[in-house]
Amino acid sequence: MPHPNIQYRISNIILFLILCLFFLPKIIFAQENNIYGIHLAQPHLEDLKKVKELVNSNGGDWGYVTLVIQENDRDKNKWQGIFDLLRQYHLIPIIRLATKPEGDNWKRPKIEDISEWVSFLDSLNWVVKNRYVVLFNEPNHGSEWGGAVDPQDYGKVAFAFAKALKEKNKDFFLMLAGFDASAPQLPPRYWDEEMFLRELFNINLSSFCANFIECINNGLISGWSSHSYPNPGFSGSPYDFGRGTIRNYQWELELLKSLGVNKDLPVFIKETGWQRDIRYSIFDIGKDKIAQNFKIAFEEVWSQDKRIKAVTPFVFDYQSEPFLGFSWKKFNEDDFYPQYYLIQSLPKQKGQPEQDEKGEIKFNLPNELVEQSDYSFKISLKNLGQGYWDDKDYKLKIKNTSESLEFLSGHIGEIAPGEEKEVVIFLKTKSQGKEKISFVLEKNNQEILKSKDWYFDILALPSLKFEVFYWPWGKGEGDDFEIQIFDWEEKLVFKEKGIIVKNGMGIVSNIKNINLSDLYRVVLIKKGYLPRQVYYVFRPKDNLVKFKKLLPFDKNNDGKFDIKDVLTIFYSFTKLGKSL
């Protein structure tokens, strides 16, 4: 958390004055992801939508959010729900571990606490493949480490946590705590960051890695967490250089290099920002100036440095002291300060973080279809990975080289991890032949999941002979018979009118849209008679069905026998009697 600096750094001022006298060419690097993010003190679910609208606006996607998990808040259901919502909103979490307050200090974490932390963190289905974890906070403040700064103790605890997490799952992306670069050397309450790091990097650890230099170089520590505040007084210029500025991370990386770190570390500026309404008017730069400072910092500094992967200013919403002056959300209002809307308006990159995509595509489809027909089938998609499957980024397609088929997938809708959903597919057959297709799920036009092969034959259109008699006697005759065929979902798949029946026999040729393994309901309709039906499984040929005798009781042709038919029959007999 921020710690005010009341000491001006003469070297920074001199450097700034020198730079003002000379033109410095701007070096532009291409960013590979959306670096925009925000720090949340507490992950209120209703805030996450506003966070998404801030960091994923204006072309942006997959921004970042820093969240703090305390040891007394390790509720799997709660945090899995938060992660699932972040997944849906395309927000990447950076998780900072914390203990719990004890009086004016934060309790020191202990090595014996590791197993519970590892078990909890590994039980969650993370949003993206990289599980970003920051190992506690500003240990060069005594209040953050049980009341007294202790580089040796922090080093041993941080190493033990990092080793245990990495051994549990290689996808944990671990970072040391962010440091207060403006803290003075006043032990045991404060330690200067450079002195702390030099002490930290001299600790003898283990054969796994001898010291933190080796831990960083071999990848146990994968990134650098920086608190790059614009000091003094959180009111410095975005054009300042060096330690204690928004470019503080540059000074830190140079220090690491001088200590023997030869790995190019990706940087996550986990905390930064200007304070508003400071008691000392000399530092109060005003809310509009703060917004402009953020714009300059993002556009001219952080977005131009390819080493920076995320910037999450402190803090989205804090409604009390001591951090009320850093809150982007107004006090007791649903509105925000100008920096929210100005940063929201800036153009951003579309990030594409790697996710662990796993799942199943299951189906039980027929192995015999007929030509010149249209089909709709259901297949099952089960999401077992990290991605939130939706129609925006995911498409269901088929792999097939035949020209005898046309395929159209229905919308997959939304399928969260752990969910299974049926998706309708549409298939149109043309000519006869043997076919083999498989279903594939693509994400941004890249295949992530493939089904087993579906083998089936496309056969000639079958015919149906049917036998029909009248009640109480007589064989069926006429040219106004109708056949309707319904599938097992009661969807009409075929209909033909004006069928000719002679001597009790009729025939329907070229029946489309059926497969030769399912049960169908075949309905016979004739005007003035109640409909008759049979259930039938079609064969490639020699299809014959026999209907029960037709009953002449549907006088109003509504397909049923009721009081209206009785009254019609009675009226007919009455009329006939009068005529006689």
pLDDT in tens, 377-434: 999 999 999 999 999 999 999 988 788 899 888 789 999 999 999 999 999 999 999 9
The pair phi, psi for residue 129, each rounded to 5°, is -60, -45
> Region 142-171: what's the mean pLDDT?
98
pLDDT tens for each residue of 60-96: 999 999 999 999 999 999 999 999 999 999 999 999 9
CA separation, residue 10 to residues 20, 22, 27, 230, 282 (Å): 15, 19, 26, 15, 18
Nearest to 347 by CA among 34, 27, 26, 30: 34
User: Residue 43 is which amino acid?
Assistant: P
The pLDDT > 70 percentage for the chain reads 91
pLDDT tens for each residue of 21-53: 333 333 333 457 999 999 998 888 889 999 999
CA distance 272 to 224: 14
Which residue pairs from 214-219 have beta carbons closer than 8 angstroms and sit at least 24 positions apart in sequence?
215/159, 215/162, 216/256, 216/261, 216/263, 216/265, 217/261, 217/262, 217/263, 219/263
Q: Are residues 429 and 405 in contact, defined by beta-carbon separation less than 8 angstroms?
A: yes
- Per-residue confidence (pLDDT) for residue 21, from 0 to 100: 39
**Residue given tokens 């290689």 in the structure block:** 170
CA separation, residue 559 to residues 178, 478, 553 (Å): 78, 19, 10
Pair (478, 499) in one structural domain: yes
- Cα torsion angle, 271, 272, 277, 283, sign: positive
Q: Are residues 265 and 226 in contact, defined by beta-carbon separation less than 8 angstroms?
A: no
Nearest to 318 by CA among 6, 39, 33: 39
Nearest to 334 by CA among 68, 52, 46, 66: 46
pLDDT tens for each residue of 491-501: 999 999 999 99
- Per-residue confidence (pLDDT) for residue 578, from 0 to 100: 55
Nearest to 275 by CA among 261, 293, 253: 293
Q: Of residues 570 and 456, which shows the higher confidence score?
A: 456
* pLDDT greater than 70 at residue 8: no
Written as six digits, the tokens of 334 are: 């649903």
Pair (226, 80) in one structural domain: yes
Q: Are residues 217 and 261 in contact, defined by beta-carbon separation less than 8 angstroms?
A: yes
pLDDT tens for each residue of 357-380: 999 999 999 999 999 999 999 999
Name the least confident of 20-34, 156-170, 311-325, 347-361. 20-34
User: Residue 396 is which amino acid?
Assistant: L
Which CATH number does the domain housing residue 526 bear?
A: 2.60.40.1120
Pair (118, 159) in one structural domain: yes
Which CATH number does the domain housing residue 197 bear?
A: 3.20.20.80
Written as six digits, the tokens of 276 are: 């508003």
Per DSSP, what are the bridge partners of residue 539?
none
Q: Are residues 120 and 76 in contact, defined by beta-carbon separation less than 8 angstroms?
A: yes
Written as six digits, the tokens of 372 are: 């010149």
Q: Are residues 280 and 270 in contact, defined by beta-carbon separation less than 8 angstroms?
A: no
Per DSSP, what are the bridge partners of residue 135?
176
- Per-residue confidence (pLDDT) for residue 517, from 0 to 100: 85
Q: How many domains does the chain have?
A: 3
- Cα torsion angle, 137, 138, 140, 142, sign: negative
- pLDDT band per the 50, 70, 90 thresholds, residue 11: very low
Pair (327, 428) in one structural domain: no
The pLDDT > 90 percentage for the chain reads 84
* pLDDT greater than 50 at residue 109: yes
> Region 504-525: what's the mean pLDDT?
96
Pair (479, 333) in one structural domain: no
Pair (559, 531) in one structural domain: yes
- pLDDT band per the 50, 70, 90 thresholds, residue 574: low
Is residue 516 situated within a structural domain? yes
Q: Of residues 326 and 26, which shows the higher confidence score?
A: 326
- Per-residue confidence (pLDDT) for residue 411, from 0 to 100: 87
**Residue given tokens 């730069």 in the structure block:** 285
> Region 518-527: what's the mean pLDDT?
96
> Region 255-265: what's the mean pLDDT?
96
The chain-wide mean pLDDT, for the chain, equals 91
Pair (319, 408) in one structural domain: no
**Residue given tokens 């600096």 in the structure block:** 5
Range of the domain at 51: 32-345
- Per-residue confidence (pLDDT) for residue 84, from 0 to 100: 97
- Per-residue confidence (pLDDT) for residue 576, from 0 to 100: 46
Q: Are residues 560 and 480 in contact, defined by beta-carbon separation less than 8 angstroms?
A: no
CA distance 396 to 443: 9
pLDDT tens for each residue of 276-318: 875 555 667 899 999 999 999 999 999 999 999 999 999 999 9
Pair (280, 384) in one structural domain: no
Pair (384, 290) in one structural domain: no
Q: Of residues 566 and 75, which shows the higher confidence score?
A: 75
CA distance 38 to 51: 7
Pair (497, 527) in one structural domain: yes
- Per-residue confidence (pLDDT) for residue 283, from 0 to 100: 65
Pair (131, 116) in one structural domain: yes
* pLDDT greater than 80 at residue 1: no
Q: Of residues 36 and 577, which shows the higher confidence score?
A: 36
pTM of this structure: 0.85
Q: Of residues 123 and 206, which shows the higher confidence score?
A: 123
CA distance 395 to 68: 35
**Residue given tokens 């910037």 in the structure block:** 311
Q: Are residues 395 and 447 in contact, defined by beta-carbon separation less than 8 angstroms?
A: no
pLDDT tens for each residue of 444-484: 899 999 999 999 999 999 999 999 999 999 999 999 999 99
Is residue 433 situated within a structural domain? yes
Pair (369, 315) in one structural domain: no
CA distance 494 to 486: 7
